[in-house]
Structure 1
Amino acid sequence: MWNGSNKFFRRGLWNGITFSGALDASHNSVFEVNFVYNEDELYYAFKMIDKSIFSMAVLNKTRSSLELLTWSQTTQNWNVYSYVPRDQCDSYGLCGVYGNCITTQLLSCQCLEGFKPKSTGYREWSQGCMRNKVLNYSKLDGFIKFNGLKSPDATNSWVNKSMNLEQCRVKCLENTSCMAYSNFDIRGRGSGCAMWFGDLIDIKQSSNNVQDLFIRMSASELGWFRLRNLLPRGQRVLGFLICSGVLSSVLDFDLGSIDGFGKFSVTVLMSCVVAFLYMPGGKNARSFWLGSDQLRSNLEIFSRG
């Protein structure tokens, strides 16, 4: 929906069952929907299952809403069966780029994981969010899976119905403008490829959408996510690094140096482990250790960022 030249409301990408930002329509017993997308045409249609019910869709200028009305033979009036937008999170781009609107929260706008607010102003979300770690714009980047979101604005997107999810990931990673990808159709095991280019906007928490959205992240951000996933979930965690090493010195004289002083180089051989203390359920602290091999693999990921 548009308000003049401004986007006002968006339903989300079609996922094979319904629109990603719509209420659950998979078990709808009132009307059935039909979405057609091919090389020749693109359209969405619905029809009432009960043929005796009359319905129509209208734009209500007073309420700034799109309403589905049904006729009541009893009252001889049109009744509102459904309408959009339904809440403040349906307002287009309310939380800015990479912001997630959550209707159940007092402060509805929050940044997606891996992002932080651009503005320090209280409740100032027009600028949206920015990354915690800048992208490498290379194959060192990766993706983090998000679930239960209305898909971002598809103005700058691309769809291929024949690709699988892995092919979609590879193609998105090769394009430095590609910021996210997902299956186009979530039915069965999922099929097709949808990719988004540029900043992602108009995202809303949508528990009815089970479509996974994979958002591009830097290697260093991925390293933190992977390290965090090794730890017990839902616990308060304190971490510290324990290192032991051997300090060896090598005296390397340089005959060409000033005043005859030699060059002195130092080599440090270190072996480290990282320890985490966590308190399950507020009880006694327990420890969780990552050995040097596990730590090395994660530090390598961090160093790439």
Structure 2
Amino acid sequence: MKLGKNFITGRETFLTSWKSEDDPSPGEYTLRFLMVKGKYQQFYIRRSSAIETRIGPYNGISFSGRPLITPDAINPVYVSYIVVNQNEMYFTALSSNDTTTVSSRMVVTPSGKLEIFLKKFANQDWIKSITLPVDYCDKYRVCGLYGSCNAATTPYCGCLKGFERKTSDDTSVCRQSIALDCGPGEGFEKLSSMKFGGN
């Protein structure tokens, strides 16, 4: 199964939620793969046209900011791939061995969550492996420009080094605390365990 787009036919493959748990007509939420050549690949959970959650970007091994999606490095049950070529761009996950002993499925729930299930053929039960978003900080652009989110602190939102939170017109944003002049002693700040911002 592929999630992506065929550039020749224009056909896009994505997931849509049910309207409710017992109504399989199309719901409000979709899981779409960002398909722009030259940009980092990532997934968006949208409610109608508004982005609610971003998963990624994909760094070639796993989805940044969400290590839970990385298959077990020693004995993975599936391996994920992103394929980009002249004809198409898509995401797929395949069993890691030829004796397919595990199946997986992805579901977008009527409440806008992505759930991934695994089933080992030995017991035939679907077991929930991952649910996204996990916490408040998985919301899209929740802390605004130059902001950072930490689910382990209160409040969740803070500002990156060199910025401070200022409130005006009922909005709270991070603004530069000092002007940059690109002079001696200035450089880049290393940030670890951060999901890269942007589109």
Instruction: Give yes or no for TM over 0.5.
Output: yes
* 1:67–1:81 Cα contact (<8 Å) kept: yes
Stretches of 4+ moved more than 6 A in 1? Answer: 138-141
1:134/1:42 Cα in 2 relative to 1: closer, same or farther (>3 Å)? Answer: farther
Per-residue deviation at 1:5?
2.0
Q: Quick check: which one's strand share is greater?
A: 2
Instruction: Find the residue that maps to 2:188 and give its secondary structure.
Output: strand
Matched, 1:79 2:124: no
Distance in 2 between residues matched to 1:4 and 1:127, nearest whole Å: 26
Per-residue deviation at 1:61?
0.9
Matched, 1:56 2:105: yes
Per-residue deviation at 1:101?
0.8
* 1:115–1:130 Cα contact (<8 Å) kept: yes
Map 1:50-199 to 2 at 5 A: 51-62=100-111, 64-71=112-119, 76-119=124-167, 127-136=172-181, 142-153=187-198, 155=199
Question: Which structure: larger Rg?
Answer: 1
Per-residue deviation at 1:84?
0.9
* 1:65–1:85 Cα contact (<8 Å) kept: yes
Per-residue deviation at 1:89?
0.8
* 1:17–1:26 Cα contact (<8 Å) kept: no
Instruction: Find the residue that maps to 1:9 and give its secondary structure.
Output: strand
Distance in 2 between residues matched to 1:135 and 1:41, nearest whole Å: 42
**Count of residues in correspondence between the two structures:** 149
* 2:71–2:77 Cα contact (<8 Å) kept: no
Map 1:1-305 to 2 at 5 A: 1-23=45-67, 25=70, 27-28=72-73, 29-38=76-85, 41-49=88-96, 51-62=100-111, 64-71=112-119, 76-119=124-167, 127-136=172-181, 142-153=187-198, 155=199
Distance in 2 between residues matched to 1:77 and 1:38, nearest whole Å: 36
1:139/1:9 Cα in 2 relative to 1: closer, same or farther (>3 Å)? Answer: same
In the alignment, residue 11 of structure 1 is paired with which amino acid? I
**For residues 247-287 of structure 1, what are the alpha-carbon distances to aligned partners after superposition, in whole Å with 9 as ceiling and x for unaligned?**
xxxxxxxxxxxxxxxxxxxxxxxxxxxxxxxxxxxxxxxxx
In the alignment, residue 107 of structure 2 is paired with which amino acid? V
Q: Quick check: which one's helix share is greater?
A: 1
Per-residue deviation at 1:73?
5.1
Distance in 2 between residues matched to 1:37 and 1:143, nearest whole Å: 31
Per-residue deviation at 1:81?
1.3
* 2:116–2:130 Cα contact (<8 Å) kept: yes
Per-residue deviation at 1:55?
1.7
In the alignment, residue 51 of structure 2 is paired with which amino acid? K
TM-score by length of 2: 0.63
- Unaligned runs of 5+ residues in structure 2 are 1-44
Q: After the TM superposition, which of the residue ranges 3-12 and 74-83 deviates more from structure 2?
A: 74-83
Q: CA RMSD in A?
A: 2.9
1:134/1:68 Cα in 2 relative to 1: closer, same or farther (>3 Å)? Answer: same
